[in-house]
Amino acid sequence: MLTRENLCNAKRIVVKVGTSTLTHATGKLNLLRIEKLARELSDLANQGKQIILVTSGAVGAGMDRLGLKEKPKTIPEKQAAAAVGQGILLHIYEKMFGEYGQIVGQVLLTRADSVNRKRYTNSRNTLMALLNQGVIPIINENDAVSIDELKIGDNDTLSAMVASIIDADLLIILSDVEGVYTANPQTDPKAVLLSEITDITPGIEELAGGPGTMRGTGGMHTKIQAAKIAVNSGVAMVIATGGREGIVREVLEGNNIGTIFISKENRLQIRKRWLAFGVSVSGRVTVDTGCERALLEGGSSLLAAGVTDVNGDFEQGNTISIVNEGGRELARGITNYCAEDVKKIMGAHTHDITQLLGSKPYDEIIHRDNLVLLV
């Protein structure tokens, strides 16, 4: 397990850099910063580390080239900006990494590449092949073509999914803020930096606000969601400022900077990681405390008797979240019943399902084999 003291042992490292770090307040690319990042990551690759860069900035770079002062409002306009900007970004990375003799390869992903298990495995194989040849994959969401339903939507989540897919040791998210504060430091001067988070409780999730600038996308909220994916996949995560030169090296030296999220000791099996994080969540069921205990401590399947509420319009076969009465997400899994049927059978005993629905195709709403615990 990685802690600050042994971060230097991280071998496979995903670094995510946000638009707020890659651009100036003018909206133009911060070339000096990109150059320094390329130099630092190339040097780490020279040391034998396997580095993956997840970069935002396509929409920002495209907006600048197209002379747009505000973020495009319609999806096609945003996609057009991304199409223009992605080329610019890659051209610059290719040039700057090339200065240090480092080969890079562009990989553009969408949710479709993880929803389907074959494509999930294929993405992993491609990335591993690049790493095995000493290439730094440069990843972004394929914004120009991804449709709403199959969008990952933000690169914090994308970077955590990538880290999960390739069994990374560490994910470093570089932003325009030092780490997670007790409140948004841009609006609350009394906010205090949290150095270490061992448990992502609902309280921690509540601290996280939206983006700091109109250039950023998800703010701290998506970074905390990303941390949930990372730690449950056995990947430690650090949020740190991308504004400081040498920041990645400092993190790896174990300096007390930014916020570290300690990963769970047991990495989920790959199928369970795919189930929990590759697929979109289509709805939510709330369970009572007895059911919570049975799931967490008893290794049980989810039965109708423990369900107290249903949200969302999910179908049989969709992935749904199981939350406790305090709203904490306990698990995710593939449901055997659609939302309408769960509403009819919630609170009922298994032997009453036939009477309530006219048939009972399954005893459990989610079978244990198709369920992943997240706490």
- Pick 219 or 306: Cβ nearer ligand ADP: 219
Taking the complex as a whole, the smallest distance from the CB of residue 144 to ligand VHF amounts, in Å, to: 10
Return the bridge partners of 138, or none. Answer: 53, 106
Number of residues that bind ligand ADP (CB under 6 A): 25
Determine if residue 190 is left, alpha or beta; phi over 0 gives left, psi from -120 to 50 gives alpha, anything else beta.
alpha
Pick one of 10, 12, 13, 18: the residue that binds ligand VHF (CB under 6 A): 18
d(CA 276, CA 372): 6
d(CA 28, CA 9): 36
Q: Does 106 sit near ligand ADP (CB under 6 A)?
A: no
- Length of the chain (residues): 375
Q: Does 185 sit near ligand ADP (CB under 6 A)?
A: yes
Among ligand ADP, ligand VHF, none, what does residue 123 contact (CB within 5–8 Å per kind)? none
**AA identity, residue 152:** I
Among ligand VHF, ligand ADP, none, what does residue 57 contact (CB within 5–8 Å per kind)? ligand VHF
Q: Does 58 sit near ligand VHF (CB under 6 A)?
A: yes
Among ligand ADP, ligand VHF, none, what does residue 116 contact (CB within 5–8 Å per kind)? none
Among ligand ADP, ligand VHF, none, what does residue 58 contact (CB within 5–8 Å per kind)? ligand VHF
Give 274's DSSP letter: I
- Pick 200 or 371: Cβ nearer ligand ADP: 200
Query: Rounded to the nearest 5 degrees, what angle is found at the Cα of 105, between the Cα atoms of 101 and 107?
Result: 160
Q: Does 169 sit near ligand VHF (CB under 6 A)?
A: no
Q: In what order do the strands lie in the sheet with 307-311?
A: 307-311, 281-287, 319-323, 329-334, 371-373
Among ligand ADP, ligand VHF, none, what does residue 341 contact (CB within 5–8 Å per kind)? none
DSSP string, 317-371: T-EEEEE-TT--EEEEEE-SS-HHHHHHHTT--GGGHHHHHS--S-S-SB-GGGE
Count of other CB atoms within 10 angstroms of residue 48:
8
Return the bridge partners of 12, or none. Answer: 50
Q: Which helix (H) or strand (E) holds 294?
A: helix 289-296
Q: Looking up tokens 């070339």, which residue turns up?
A: 31
Q: Taking the mean position of all CA atoms in its chain, how far away is CA 246?
A: 24
Q: Per-residue x/- mask for ligand ADP, residues 42 to 81, rule CB under 6 A?
A: --------------x-------------------------
Q: Does 57 sit near ligand VHF (CB under 6 A)?
A: yes
- What per-residue string of b and e applies to 13-22 under the rule 16 or more CB within 10 Å gives b? bbbbbbbbbb
CB 306 within 8 A of CB 287: yes
Pick one of 179, 212, 216, 278: the residue that binds ligand VHF (CB under 6 A): 216
- Pick 215 or 332: Cβ nearer ligand ADP: 215
d(CA 158, CA 164): 10
Q: Which residues, 194 to 253, sit near ligand ADP by CB under 6 A? A: 207-209, 211-213, 216-220
Pick one of 93, 97, 181, 337: the residue that binds ligand ADP (CB under 6 A): 181
Taking the complex as a whole, the smallest distance from the CB of residue 186 to ligand ADP amounts, in Å, to: 4
Q: Does 143 sit near ligand VHF (CB under 6 A)?
A: yes
Among ligand VHF, ligand ADP, none, what does residue 292 contact (CB within 5–8 Å per kind)? none
Q: Does 137 sit near ligand ADP (CB under 6 A)?
A: no
- Pick 20 or 319: Cβ nearer ligand ADP: 20
- Pick 20 or 102: Cβ nearer ligand ADP: 20
CB 174 within 8 A of CB 21: yes
Among ligand VHF, ligand ADP, none, what does residue 177 contact (CB within 5–8 Å per kind)? ligand ADP
CB 1 within 8 A of CB 265: yes
Contact residues toward ligand ADP (CB under 6 A) are 18-21, 56, 175-177, 180-181, 183-186, 207-209, 211-213, 216-220
Site of interaction with ligand VHF (CB under 6 A): 18-20, 56-60, 82, 140-141, 143, 154-155, 216-218
